[in-house]
Amino acid sequence: MNILRAFGEQIGIFTSADRSGTKQLSLVGSEPASAPPAPAQDIEPIEIETPHCCFYCAWCESSILLPHDGLGFAFGGPQIRKIEARSIGTICGSCGHVGTYSLFRGCQGYDTRHRFVPSPLAGKTVLLDWLPCDEETCVFKLPFFITFDEDLTEENLKEWAPKWLWNGLTCSVGHIVQPPRWLFQTRPHRAALDLARAGVQRPR
């Protein structure tokens, strides 16, 4: 025991602060100083992609992307559809042609290139109108969709729509659809419906 104490006194383990006059050696390692906080980094927003219908313009072949929920899941299963339509009408933002498009094989506006694709949301796609065709006995009105954005708004719609090329627009069975009457009315058109937030709809 005396040997251990003598050895301990030499290295300062058993020597008290009073007797040695020196700082007592600790057997427990001191905790390292905490690292400085990392500098704050800019967090990039996450871009969420949703299912879109990708159509190709029948005139200029530019792609037309419309969110499927904005179309009321028109080309989905019967359980999720908010509207019953075999084809839809919309405007090509590249060439200004209005056209009929479909993802259902055999329907007016179908093309094997048309498909579902994931894409980020851009603007707000709305159901602008149900357009009747020239055939009085036809019950297949064409749902017409547009996407409001920074350039095309509800306020300037009546300014832009008359400039679109309306020739060639048909219902889902091929009857000619004329430009809507509200194009030539002075009052603004306020019937746009956001199907992404609406319930099941029926043609008016």
The burial class, CB within 10 Å (0-12 / 13-18 / 19+), for 27 is exposed
| The pLDDT of residue 7 | 45
- Measured from the Cβ of residue 134, the count of other Cβ atoms closer than 10 Å reads 11
| The pLDDT of residue 38 | 63
| The pLDDT of residue 20 | 46
Task: Summarize pLDDT for 26-48 with one digit per residue, the tens.
Answer: 445 555 556 666 666 666 667 78
The rounded average pLDDT for each run of 10 residues, N- to C-terminus, in the chain (204 residues) is: 50 48 50 62 76 96 96 95 95 96 95 96 94 94 95 91 93 94 83 81 61
Rounded CA-CA distance 27/12 in Å is: 11
Do the beta carbons of residue 141 and residue 202 sit within 8 Å? no
The burial class, CB within 10 Å (0-12 / 13-18 / 19+), for 63 is middle
Domain spans in the chain, listed from the N-terminal domain onward: 49-184
